Amino acid sequence: MGLTGLQIFKYTPAAQKLEHTNCKECGCPTCMAFSLKLAKQQIEIDKCPYASEELKEKYNQEIKPAQKTISIGDLKIGGENVLYRHEKTFVNKTIIAIFVDYSDKNYEKNLQEICNFETNILNEKQKVDLLIFKNTDNIPEGLPIYAITESELKNIGLNIIYEKDFDSTKEELINTRQKAILEKDEHFSAPVCVVMKNTNIEDQCARATYYLCKYANMILFEQFNKDIISTLMSLRQNIYTDPQKTLQVEPGLYKFNNPDENSIIFLTTNFALTYFAVANELSSIDKSSYLIIVPAQGMSVLTAWSAETFTPEIVAKTLKDLDIANKINTRKIIIPGLLADMKEELQIACPDFEFIEGTHEASDIPEFVETF
């Protein structure tokens, strides 16, 4: 399953002590950095003009994605190299695209509705990825979404499947991906776009979710429906989030139920799931509160503590950066119960505040607040 960065490094000028060692022409500071990026498919091999023939051969055999990548601006379609995310990772999320028909009497209204649509899922703002203009060659300027014409769509190298029925579309998708990945058959290396048949919303949504899982690189709808699109975006975020990168929220001071300078203060890390679990409870209780989110590289409380990304010094710096002592009169800060062992060190690092051991589970916060 591919080469590691170290295995690639052996073939670079640096390892072979050749001219151009660490020359930076590839845009990486060293040959090792280039090797690590190449192993993760984050750079093309031809960025290094000094890559040996041996390395190119290995690359073609073991790293080069089985599926081609097609770019529209910053959008990348395809480039996948595995059948299942747990084998490594999926690379480019399924593009969600909508036809905009210039000949439709509601053209302007439809276009505006699609462009205005935005959803926020786990702190990630998402919009429709791509518009396909029908019955015109003139795409309006200044759109907030990438757009191409229908004829351009047909010529960018996608394998376009016009959905007839669910079973045949499903089989074609699976067969195409298996041929590309398992057999490295170049005839099946084009990314696949499914053009959805316009049926009732529930059926269309169910079929599209299946295609998103297996294995459409792009799904194109005849008409915009925000419920279908939101559902797909939520599912897509689950599938295409790199499991090696945690979901994070912005560190800072969050407010719940219009707090004043005497409201209670909670504190935790910037791991998104921790944030949303705590935030959900704080917004549901009938007391106002603050939540201080400490930057901890997106790790959960105990992981951050053991990895030393959540230390008394980092907490002290966060309180200072947020100017908590001057903004809020409250001097008690409730920390996660799991960090009880850290209380004393926190007290020393932040003498202006008193740290209170909170609950282990976010779901116990309402009861805790009642007795606080």
Q: Which is nearer to ligand SF4, 23 or 143 (CB)?
A: 23
Stretch that binds ligand SF4, among 18-26, 253-261, 269-277, 331-339 (CB under 6 A): 18-26
DSSP E strand boundaries for the chain = 69-72, 75-78, 95-101, 119-121, 124-126, 130-134, 146-149, 159-162, 192-195, 218-221, 252-256, 264-269, 289-294, 332-335, 354-357
Q: How far is CA 241 from CA 92, 245, 301, in A?
A: 10, 8, 21
Kindly state whether residue 272 participates in binding ligand SF4, applying the rule CB under 6 A. no
The minimum distance between CB 76 and ligand SF4, in angstroms, equals 22
Give the SS3 label for residue 71. Answer: strand
Stretch that binds ligand SF4, among 23-31, 157-165, 205-213, 241-249 (CB under 6 A): 23-31
Kindly state whether residue 224 participates in binding ligand SF4, applying the rule CB under 6 A. no
Q: Which is nearer to ligand SF4, 32 or 213 (CB)?
A: 32
Q: Which is nearer to ligand SF4, 14 or 83 (CB)?
A: 14
Choice from 3, 28, 195, 319 touching ligand SF4 (CB under 6 A)? 28
User: What's the distance, CA 101 to chain centroid?
Assistant: 30
Choice from 16, 24, 71, 372 touching ligand SF4 (CB under 6 A)? 24
Q: Binders of ligand SF4 among 76-135, rule CB under 6 A?
A: none
Q: Tokens 């689950």 map to which residue?
A: 238
* 112 Cβ contact list (under 8 Å, min separation 6): none
Choice from 15, 41, 50, 52 touching ligand SF4 (CB under 6 A)? 50
Q: How far is CA 243 from CA 205, 210, 238, 291, 296, in A?
A: 26, 21, 9, 26, 17
C-alpha 107/C-alpha 282 separation (Å) is 43
User: Rounded to 5 degrees, what angle do the CA atoms 181, 186, 188 make?
Assistant: 65
The minimum distance between CB 42 and ligand SF4, in angstroms, equals 13
CA neighbor of 221 nearest in space, from 193, 191, 201, 196: 196
Dihedral of alpha carbons 30, 36, 42, 48, sign = positive
Q: Which is nearer to ligand SF4, 17 or 86 (CB)?
A: 17
Stretch that binds ligand SF4, among 16-24, 64-72, 196-204, 208-216 (CB under 6 A): 16-24
Binding mask 29-48 for ligand SF4 (x = CB under 6 A): --x--x-------------x
Stretch that binds ligand SF4, among 15-23, 186-194, 226-234, 341-349 (CB under 6 A): 15-23
C-alpha 46/C-alpha 37 separation (Å) is 13
Structure tokens at 203: 């059926």
Kindly state whether residue 55 participates in binding ligand SF4, applying the rule CB under 6 A. no
Instruction: Catalog residues that contact ligand SF4 under the rule CB under 6 A.
Output: 12-14, 20, 22-26, 28, 31, 34, 48, 50
